[in-house]
Structure formats: structure tokens, C-alpha cells
Amino acid sequence: MKTTQAAFPATRLRRPRRTPAIRALVAENALTPADLIWPVFVRDGEGIEEPVPSMPGVVRRSVDKVVEAAKEAQALGIPAICLFPYTGSANRTSDCTEAWNPDNLSNRATRAIKAAVPDLAIMTDVALDPYSDTGHDGFVVDGEIINDETVEALVKQALSQAEAGVDIIGPSDMMDGRIGAIRTALESAGHRNVMLLSYAAKYASAFYGPFRDAVGASGALKGDKATYQMNPANSDEAMRCVARDLSEGADMVMVKPGMPYLDICRRVKDEFAVPTFAYQVSGEYAMIQAAAQNGWIDGDRAMMESLMGFKRAGCDGVLTYFAPLAARVLNG
């Protein structure tokens, strides 16, 4: 018998997959608790941990319980938590003044965490939706989300968060010019070290649904956010958003949602080489949890695989509701 080929495969790519030790040796990416930012929902009261039905395993915590969560984060090696207030309807108004109240929920939680766990980084969200009666991230006039007046309010909100002691401010509002305006105001007020993690490429997404339940904005929201959040069809536009936000003074940038936008994460990392984060949003979390609860997928494995996907796509870190669960798996 005449053979033109060798009787064995020239390359055996199964060799580096043979044992756990060899697989560990050739692993290209690693996930650690230090890659995680844990988003937590804050509510009024004391001693309260109230489940969010559309996000199994996630609760709204009163400030004392948020402090406990902060201690837990530190013990698990998670470097940062991100605060999202659940605001009662009395504090949701058309002028959104609660957003820059020095004693609002977010600022009270920030001070309480800083007093108890000073080394944990605190991130907060800049956008008007927790405080607005329309559920929009900006002021609405005649059905339009008005940009420049909203930016003035966002600056006040950011300054009040910096005063309270946050380390990282995350503008999630997608108004034009907000990064530059906030950076200038922070510098002028002497907050030189407060970082800006810009929600630079934030898409108008169906995956935010459970979050809007969690912060009580679902009922309020009139219409959609397509005039300020990005069209899921676009990728070049995300590069323009990131370039613009970096030029205005962002220290770090975010892509949001995460799993459907890993291509954007990779492009951002390759083109800009700056600290790049993905937000694995509420709907992504809910999807995995719901399938796991039904016994359709292995929840822990799906969680870890999804998080590794972000590292492989070039992200330096991930905002994820899985943070404490994943850190526990990683810590053994």
C-alpha cells in the first residue's frame, strides 16, 4: 500500500489537553477574584435583605447589610463594589434633586462602607434614572431627553458622590460631553484622584430588564433609551465613543452588556490598550441562573465559563452579580 502521508498526525493538539496539570500549564488566560467588581442594590431601612425576583440570589440591602457585603467582598479578595440605589417613589421627581442630595442612599452607603472597610474601592453610577419619575437617565422635555441640561445635573451628582468618598465614578447615562464636564468639575473641586470608569460603549439592550426591576424603574420607564444608548448593530461607533471619552478624561472604559458584545471588548482592548471592563448585566445573570435553576445547565460551570470569556476577549475586569459566587469558587 502506497501512502503519501505519514501514518500519524503531524500536530497533535490533544497533547496539551491530556492532564489537568498540563492544561493548567498551557492556559492562556486566568480569572481571579481581583478581576471582579460586585454591583449591589441599596435600599432604605435596617437589617433588610429583600430578594429581587427576576435575579435569583440577588437582594436589595439596607445600608447596614451593604456594609456586611462590603466586608464579605474584601474577605473574598474582590477589590471593588458598585452601588445602585433603589429609590422610593417620593424621591423620584422631574427635577431629580435627590441625585445630588449629600444624604441620599448612595452617599450614605458610601460613607458607611468607607468607615468600616476603607480599603475596598467603591464605584457609583452617574445617571438620573434612579431619581427620575420617567425612568430615563436624563431630563425629559417634550418627549426629548435633553443633553446639556442633563450634563449639568450629572456633574452635581458626581460631585456629591466624590464628596461622600467614592473611588470610581461610572457615568452610565450616555449623554454627550459628560466625561469632560465631570472631570473638569472634579479637578476644580480638588477631587484629583477620583477615577472615571466611563460606560463608553453602552448599548440599548433588552438585557437590562431585571436591573430595572431591581432599582424600581421598570414601571416608570416611558419609551426606550434608543436616542442615547447605542444601536446593537454598531461597532465602529463604539470605537468613537471610547476615543471621545478617553480624550475627555476617562481613566477606564466599559462595554455593556457583556456576553453579546465580546467582539466590542476585543476591539476596544486592541485599539486603545486601556483598562477595559465589561458589565455582565442583569439579564445575562438572570439567563444563566434561570437555566441552572431548571437543571438545564450547570450553573457554576456556566458562570465561570462566561467570566473567562471576558478575560479571553481582552477585558481587565468584569462587573458581575456573580462576583461573590465566582470568588468563592475561585478561592476553593
Does the CA dihedral 112-114-116-121 come out positive or negative?
positive
Residue 121 has which C-alpha cell?
Answer: 474601592
* Residues making up the chain, counted from first to last: 332
Say if residues 123 and 70 touch (Cβ distance below 8 Å): no
- Residues with Cβ within 8 Å of 223's Cβ and at least 6 positions away in sequence, in order, are 136, 143
Active site residue 256: yes
Nearer Cβ to ligand PBG, position 64 or 227?
A: 227
* Interacting residues with ligand PBG between 129 and 168 (CB under 6 A): 129, 137
Q: Site map for ligand PBG, 171-210, x if CB under 6 A?
A: -xx----------------------------------x--
| CA–CA gap between residue 231 and residue 186 (Å, rounded) | 30
Does the CA dihedral 234-207-224-178 come out positive or negative?
negative
Q: Site map for ligand PBG, 271-310, x if CB under 6 A?
A: ----------xx----------------------------
Shortest separation between residue 12's beta carbon and ligand PBG, angstroms: 43
Nearer Cβ to ligand PBG, position 64 or 133?
A: 133
Measured over all CA atoms, what is the biggest interatomic distance in the chain, rounded to whole angstroms? Answer: 87
Q: Site map for ligand PBG, 238-277, x if CB under 6 A?
A: ----------------------------------------
Q: Which stretch binds ligand PBG (CB under 6 A): 90-98, 121-129, 152-160, 305-313?
A: 121-129
Catalytic residue among 202, 225, 269, 311: 202
Considering CB under 6 A, how many residues would be counted as binding ligand PBG? 12
Q: Which stretch binds ligand PBG (CB under 6 A): 44-52, 122-130, 159-167, 303-311?
A: 122-130
Say if residues 242 and 282 touch (Cβ distance below 8 Å): no
Active site residue 225: no
What's the alpha-carbon Rg for the chain, to the nearest Å?
Answer: 21
Kind of pairing between the strands at 168-171 and 276-280: unpaired
Q: Report the half-sphere exposure of 281 (CA within 13 A, side-chain side).
A: 24
Interface residues with ligand PBG (CB under 6 A) are 125, 127, 129, 137, 172-173, 208, 211-212, 225, 281-282
